[in-house]
Chain A
Amino acid sequence: MARFLARRFVALIALLLATSIVTFTLFFAGTADPAADSCGKSCTPDRIAAAKVALGLDKPLVTQYLQYMKGLVAGREMGPPSGRYHCDWPCFGRSFQDNQFVWDVIKRGLPYTLSIAIGAATIWLFFGVLFGVIAALNKGKFLDKAAVTLSALGVSLPVPLIGLVFLWLIVSRWHLLPYTNNAITSPWSPGGPLAWAKNYILPWITLALIYGASYVRLTRANMIETMGEDYIRTARAKGLPRATVTIKHGLRAAITPIVTIFGLDLGALLGGAVLTESIYSIPGIGKTAVQATFDSNLPVIMSVVLFAAFFIIVANIIVDIFYAVIDPRVRLA
């Protein structure tokens, strides 16, 4: 196990390094003129030249990258020669837009994205697996057909359509729910868990509809395959209760691939629910990324992409390890 973990850890570091190099190259070298972006609209050639020095753009690209990485790991001194300042680790630099430290910008957005991702993931995992199992146990009957049809519809739903229809009908026309309140960032915010759930229920359902639909399909397919195995017949022949066979023998085996997908989906979602946050105007990481894109706010864009890639890679590794733990057939080679 220790060797397996060590190997995965090395792979994690290697992949993170590679993503950072690609991101850095694409964004810093790809952008035509970051210095001009950094000093906004009322810019003179002198100020652009000064910004170049302040951002370290006058140095070779490799030096720039190494400095960036040093800042990420250990913090660094940065800024113009006249006014150096210290940027604590993890240092992503300063936002072009409001000169705040990028890490603070990320930290501000994270609770919103976490709230959306955790709630939505809980809902879609629970209902996705539940409906998938029900469909599999009633294969070919009405319930199965309904589940299959609805899940086909669900995976095809465009997020903007669901979001705008919800906002139009539930919020604007029927006044069943208020617009989202950005003061509520966690179940411990004023108003408690109930206010939190009420605030995020529409984004949750929006995401859960789309993700949940594919979980229904996946669970159904896995469950049908598992329930056809010989050991299920054996378990039944032993006279075990139907529920025990279904849950302990059937679902336990069928759920392993679903755990994999779930880990990856959740990891990707933590990097920002771009569309959902934009539609419901929730200032999470995804909305931050959209705003930064329009402002050509390079340090923020870079950090959001790196941050999201970090979540995806870590989720991959966790899933690998988890897989090895729950499935004895996986060899830790």
Chain B
Amino acid sequence: MTMPAGELEAVVASADSGDADANTATVEGRSLFQIAWRRIRSSKVAMISLGVLVFLLLIAIFAPVLTAIEGQDPTTFHNTRDVIDSGSVSFEPGLPLPGFKLPSSTHWLGVEPQTGRDIFARIVYGARVSLTIAFLATLMSVVIGTTLGAMAAYFGGVVDTVISRFMDLLLAFPQLLFLLTLTPILQARLGHTFLGKGSTLPIASLIFILGFFGWPYLARIVRGQVLSLREREFVEAARAMGASPRRIIFKEIIPNVAAVVLVYATLTIPANITAEAALSFLGVGVRDPTPSWGQMLNQSQSNNFYQLDPWFMLVPGLALLITVLSFNLLGDAVRDALDPRAGRS
């Protein structure tokens, strides 16, 4: 039943980056992940979602290149008289200058109200920030959640009680409220010593806080799976051969819960993107001048800009919607593909 961990990692890693073809070709036999990949490939919705996400990832990676092509950057103000007079930014009556301008060759998605910063540049750099936070926070939750969940189930007894009660405790807190109130305190307290300073501080603290409070959900699922895996023959065999608990957990058991973890991870990334956007929207997450989609929505709400210049609200809002939707659809497809019962209905 056990699959070599190396093979799994190769397939899991390639499924994440979106081009599994190159790697799966080198894998012998047909693992659960290969079967799943075949199923995902046959689903149109999943492939479109995957395409969108790869596109987005490329945008985030090549943000500096894209903005260089456009000839803009995310922080320069375009609100001086001469910029407006030169015609690259429009002035609309009723708007704090400068105003909404339809996509043009100088500003592909127009400019922010008041400051006149380039929206396209802020969106692509915002993608970078939002995705980095979501990916790293998910990674952190997955590592902690899988390890602690597997440990709780494998060792049982006191270890299980301590870990399970701790999970209950974390789950008893209202998530968004807790993140909202705790983030500034964490930033003030740990900021300079531990999480860096300047613009990296909000990003690092968001990764830390989303990652730390996200693990109990996964740990619960992993714990349930491992409880039954623990009793299986291959674990007993490993134990009989004198394998250490560490080896059994990491080499024998965890590869078998990889499918569950993968499904959970694909559905946690969009949840983290949403949470980051929510916190930045409320003003405790990523802060000006660092762009993130939530931060841009925050700007569009302040001074009621969304009424005067709806475009400025729609661009980050739709970016958020498309990203989260793609991740959710892909996550559903991955779950269906990895479900052994899926063929029946």
Closest chain A residue to B328, Cβ basis: A156
**Complex: A168 Cα to B189 Cα, angstroms:** 39
**Complex: A309 Cα to B176 Cα, angstroms:** 12
By the criterion CB–CB under 8 Å, are A160 and B281 in contact?
A: yes
**Complex: A275 Cα to B294 Cα, angstroms:** 12
By the criterion CB–CB under 8 Å, are A168 and B313 in contact?
A: yes
B190 → chain A, closest Cβ, in Å?
A: 9
**Complex: A83 Cα to B165 Cα, angstroms:** 42
- State whether the Cβ of B283 lies closer than 8 Å to any Cβ in chain A: yes
**Complex: A279 Cα to B181 Cα, angstroms:** 18
- B320 surroundings in chain A (CB, below 8 A): 158, 161
By the criterion CB–CB under 8 Å, are B184 and A293 in contact?
A: yes
**Complex: A15 Cα to B332 Cα, angstroms:** 34
- A22 surroundings in chain B (CB, below 8 A): 169, 173
By the criterion CB–CB under 8 Å, are A308 and B169 in contact?
A: no
By the criterion CB–CB under 8 Å, are A308 and B177 in contact?
A: yes
- Per-position contact with B for A1-41: 1 when CB-CB < 8 Å, else 0? 00000000000000100110010001100111000000000
- B83 surroundings in chain A (CB, below 8 A): none
- B182 surroundings in chain A (CB, below 8 A): 26, 30
By the criterion CB–CB under 8 Å, are A15 and B301 in contact?
A: no
- Per-position contact with B for A251-294: 1 when CB-CB < 8 Å, else 0? 00000000000000000100110110011000000100110111
Given known A-B contacts A30-B185, A160-B317, A167-B306, A268 and B174 have beta carbons under 8 A apart: yes
- A157 surroundings in chain B (CB, below 8 A): 321
A116 → chain B, closest Cβ, in Å?
A: 14
- A26 surroundings in chain B (CB, below 8 A): 182, 185
Q: B interface, how many residues as a size bin? A: 35 or more
- Per-position contact with A for B160-204: 1 when CB-CB < 8 Å, else 0? 000001001100111111101110111011000000000000000
By the criterion CB–CB under 8 Å, are A305 and B178 in contact?
A: yes
Pick the contact of A156: B174, B270, B283, B307 (CB < 8 A): B270
- State whether the Cβ of A152 lies closer than 8 Å to any Cβ in chain B: yes
By the criterion CB–CB under 8 Å, are A156 and B301 in contact?
A: no
Given known A-B contacts A157-B321, A294-B283, A308 and B174 have beta carbons under 8 A apart: yes
A173 → chain B, closest Cβ, in Å?
A: 8
**Complex: A168 Cα to B313 Cα, angstroms:** 10
Given known A-B contacts A31-B188, A156-B328, A289-B181, A312 and B313 have beta carbons under 8 A apart: no
B290-340, CB < 8 A from A: 294, 297, 300-301, 306-307, 310, 313-314, 317-318, 320-321, 324-325, 328-329, 332
Closest chain B residue to A268, Cβ basis: B174
- State whether the Cβ of B277 lies closer than 8 Å to any Cβ in chain A: yes
B71-95, CB < 8 A from A: none
Q: A interface, how many residues as a size bin? A: 35 or more
By the criterion CB–CB under 8 Å, are B169 and A160 in contact?
A: no
Closest chain A residue to B176, Cβ basis: A274
Closest chain B residue to A292, Cβ basis: B181
- B180 surroundings in chain A (CB, below 8 A): 274, 289-290, 293
- State whether the Cβ of B278 lies closer than 8 Å to any Cβ in chain A: yes
By the criterion CB–CB under 8 Å, are B294 and A160 in contact?
A: yes
A285 → chain B, closest Cβ, in Å?
A: 9
- B300 surroundings in chain A (CB, below 8 A): 164
- State whether the Cβ of A165 lies closer than 8 Å to any Cβ in chain B: yes
- State whether the Cβ of B141 lies closer than 8 Å to any Cβ in chain A: no
- B123 surroundings in chain A (CB, below 8 A): none
- A313 surroundings in chain B (CB, below 8 A): 172
- B281 surroundings in chain A (CB, below 8 A): 160, 275, 278
- State whether the Cβ of A301 lies closer than 8 Å to any Cβ in chain B: yes
- B313 surroundings in chain A (CB, below 8 A): 161, 164-165, 168
Pick the contact of A27: B172, B185, B314 (CB < 8 A): B185
A116-174, CB < 8 A from B: 152-153, 155-161, 164-165, 167-168, 172-173
By the criterion CB–CB under 8 Å, are A309 and B172 in contact?
A: yes
By the criterion CB–CB under 8 Å, are B329 and A168 in contact?
A: no
Q: 10 tightest CB-CB pairs across the interface, nearest first?
A: A161-B317, A308-B174, A156-B325, A156-B324, A271-B174, A172-B307, A160-B297, A158-B320, A164-B306, A160-B281
A contact residues vs B (CB 8 Å cutoff):
15, 18-19, 22, 26-27, 30-32, 152-153, 155-161, 164-165, 167-168, 172-173, 224, 268, 271-272, 274-275, 278-279, 286, 289-290, 292-294, 296, 301, 304-305, 308-309, 311-313, 316
Contact sample, A vs B, 15 pairs, CB 8 Å cutoff = A32-B189, A152-B325, A158-B278, A160-B294, A161-B321, A164-B317, A165-B317, A271-B174, A274-B177, A275-B278, A275-B281, A289-B181, A292-B181, A309-B173, A313-B172
